[in-house]
Structure 1
Amino acid sequence: TGVGHHFGAHPALEGISLAVRRGERVAVLGPSGAGKSTLLGVLGGWITPDRGDVQVLGSNPGQLTGAALRAHRVQVGTISQALDLVDQVRVAHNVKAGHLGSWSLGRSLVALTRTRPDADCAAALERVGLGWAAQTRTGQLSGGERQRVAIARLLVQRPHLVLADEPTASLDPSHASDILNLLAGSRDDVTVIVSLHQPELARVHCDRIIGLRHGRLVLDAPAASVTSADFDELYLRA
């Protein structure tokens, strides 16, 4: 409610107020520099806004510390543009990392010394079409395959909220659709908020479209009702 944030003199978000219901699939669109990544950062708790109130899964992530913050982060799964994978280790280890927030330190250390995937890891890799890749070094995979590893890690984590920052930016349309299908179909009760640069993908795969321009909310509508003229207005007036 009323969220604003500046980077120096640059306004990244200005007076953003919105509510997202549990289970919604929401696309955040807008030209480069519109504030999409900043909005996801505020929702994820790694950016504390200059003003306004933020409630995510019943808590203000910017005010949590210690055990409360760790418990909150288990419930929020993220896919950054960098994917945050360790290329030097096997795919199975990157996917097992989805458990780390909920496992004890001892169990985590034991799991990460084993090369064989556990049942959850193996099932997640099969679901994203990478059952064959568990023992492959992550850095040897293509960009699209690495995207799938990041999604398999989310499936293992079982978050209540997924925040994905341009997860399809480097993919061709076919692979981009596959990635969004996997995100949207992870579980019916999972809320997905994803920033995109492809309006048509947003209309097909999401329930709702939010448009940002110069840090302001200028579009908020059901995806089925958003027209090509709305997209032109969002991008051409930037």
Structure 2
Amino acid sequence: MNIPILFEDNHLLLVEKPINVPVQEDSSGDLDLLTALKDDLKLRYQKPGNVYLGLVHRLDRPVGGVMVFAKTSKAASRLSDMIRRHVIERKYLAVVHGTPNKKRAQLVHYLHKDHRKNKVSAVSPDHPNAKKAVLEYEVLASKKGFSLLSVNLHTGRPHQIRVQLSTIGHPIFGDQKYGEHLTKPGQQIALWAHSIHFEHPVGKEPIEVYSIPPVNDPWDLWELVTNREFAELSTSL
């Protein structure tokens, strides 16, 4: 498994997750990212016995892009606390069907996950199992019936971006679960974990890492998405 390393020190490992790879072991039996990274650390550093690598957040299996792992328990504990306090800034790029009415907006929904179906839906705030989900989006460009969005995630609910954008009538291109009425079989979801920005949990220096989506349909509608200048610009939006 080819896993680009975006940043690494004694406490952190930031990588670009490949698409269609589970983050951790699941019922599919496919090689997962966490196991692959542990094997890589064991090999590179010739570590005997088990290798510690803390999983502090997740990405849906079909989604690629930036992920951070903790190489020490101290870093894992502090990163988990930072995620709970919403002080880790995570931004995504998404290609959606249509163009939202507002160029920039905050979306607030209450989500409920059906674990049996592994599907999330927007429900009323008084639903007994509802969890508040908040994100901000900005429309960066529109072309040929699609729009490129920058998404700033404030909460980390399962399938959150996919459900919220579908709920407002703009499902993500290639989303087989929440945009099935517009998605063709075999299409890859156009959602990418573009950047992550936070204070180093031990050294306290700022860490900012970004990843660029692959150059294929529908990302290739916008040449700017695939260049470094755009990556640096979009992290400041």
TM range, smaller chain: under 0.3
Kindly indicate which of the two structures has a greater share of residues assigned to strand: 2
Please report the TM-score for the alignment, with normalisation by the length of structure 2. Answer: 0.26
Please report the TM-score for the alignment, with normalisation by the length of structure 1. Answer: 0.26
Kindly indicate which of the two structures has a greater share of residues assigned to helix: 1
Higher normalized contact order (CA 8 Å, seq sep 6+, divided by chain length) = 1
